[in-house]
Amino acid sequence: MFENMYLETERLVLRPYTMDDLFELHKIVSQKEVMKYLPEKVMTQKQTEKTLTWIIDCYKENTQKKIKKFSVGVFLKENKKLIGWCGLGPLEFDPSEIEIYYGLSKSYWGKGFATEAARAILDYGFLIIGLKKIIAIVMPQNNASKRVIEKMGMVYRKQIENLPAKHKAYEGDLYFSLTRDEYDSIKEKKHIANLD
Ligand SMILES: CC(C)(COP(=O)(O)OP(=O)(O)OC[C@H]1O[C@@H](n2cnc3c(N)ncnc32)[C@H](O)[C@@H]1OP(=O)(O)O)[C@@H](O)C(=O)NCCC(=O)NCCS
């Protein structure tokens, strides 16, 4: 489900990946600055290929009731270049929660692209998928991402503590969330140009 999603914002296109995106995606997930605050860390070509194959397989399994993983590519509208990713998927240490995530190639940081992409996928999550709540978690030192989360209107709730050993990578992260009701009350529709 959602395999035919195609979102246009002012400067970006968000769409599901195909295997043709492998080369460009790998150029992004092999940058150490990009992966610094992410649990995955820098990927090898093999890991990127395995991950991309898995993401594409998930497109068939996602349903409105259960999202397995919904990661899509973020492309520049002007030249269709892949510059990053964003998506929605269950939180690893609590799959009852759906988290929003994103990342961009370093050369495209600082231009508002992450906020533009994240807002579009947030809209998609609430308005098309019909989610009742979306959360975001971030390492306290990831200031750029914290700012993106704030600009989406998400609300800080707590610091994550007391996780079991297998999820310790998330210990101390900051937890933000937004319910559908809260989203409706802050909504500015102007950033959605085209919801498929
Ligand atoms: C986080 C990330 C996606 C932000 O992308 P971006 O396109 O630069 O984000 P935006 O331009 O939309 O917004 C960034 C905001 O953070 C601010 N910012 C950037 N670096 C900052 C820093 N070191 N300290 C404080 N604020 C910072 C910017 O000024 C901007 O806020 P503003 O609009 O109020 O000026 C990008 O840095 C990235 O890909 N990081 C690696 C992957 C990652 O960490 N993903 C998130 C995991 S939770």
Instruction: Sort 9 into a burial class: Cβ within 10 Å, 0-12 / 13-18 / 19+.
Output: buried
- For the entire predicted model, the pTM comes to 0.94
Ligand 1 midpoint to CA 48 (Å): 23
How far, in Å, are 59, 96, 106, 126, 140 from residue 26 at the CA level?
20, 30, 13, 29, 26
pLDDT, tens digit (0-9, with 9 covering 90-100), for 66-81:
999 999 999 999 999 9
Instruction: State if residue 31 touches ligand 1 by the CB under 6 angstroms criterion.
Output: no
pLDDT, tens digit (0-9, with 9 covering 90-100), for 24-49:
999 999 999 999 999 888 999 999 99
Ligand 1 midpoint to CA 189 (Å): 22
pLDDT, tens digit (0-9, with 9 covering 90-100), for 130-189:
999 999 999 999 999 999 999 999 999 999 999 999 999 999 999 999 999 999 998 854
* Residue whose CA lies nearest to ligand 1 atom number 48: 138
Kindly report each contact of residues 45-48 with a partner whose C-beta sits within 8 Å and lies 24 or more positions away, as own/partner: 48/22
* Residue whose CA lies nearest to ligand 1 atom number 42: 103
Ligand 1 midpoint to CA 103 (Å): 9
What local confidence, expressed as pLDDT, does residue 188 receive?
A: 57
Rounded to 5 degrees, φ, ψ at 154 are -75, 155
Instruction: State if residue 179 touches ligand 1 by the CB under 6 angstroms criterion.
Output: no
Instruction: State if residue 143 touches ligand 1 by the CB under 6 angstroms criterion.
Output: yes
What local confidence, expressed as pLDDT, does residue 190 receive?
A: 47
Instruction: State if residue 120 touches ligand 1 by the CB under 6 angstroms criterion.
Output: no
CA distance 194 to 149: 22
Domains along the chain? 7-191 (3.40.630.30)
Ligand 1 midpoint to CA 61 (Å): 31
How far, in Å, are 13, 19, 36, 57, 74 from residue 118 at the CA level?
12, 23, 19, 23, 10
pLDDT, tens digit (0-9, with 9 covering 90-100), for 86-118:
999 999 999 999 999 999 999 999 999 999 999
Question: Does residue 196 register a pLDDT over 70?
Answer: no
- pLDDT-derived band at 3 (thresholds 50, 70, 90) equals confident
- pLDDT-derived band at 83 (thresholds 50, 70, 90) equals very high
CB 133 within 8 A of CB 91: no
- pLDDT-derived band at 193 (thresholds 50, 70, 90) equals very low
| 8 CB-near residues (< 8 Å, 6+ apart) | 14, 77, 193, 194
How many contiguous H segments (helices) and E segments (strands) does the chain have? 6, 8
CA distance 52 to 72: 10
Question: Does residue 119 register a pLDDT over 60?
Answer: yes
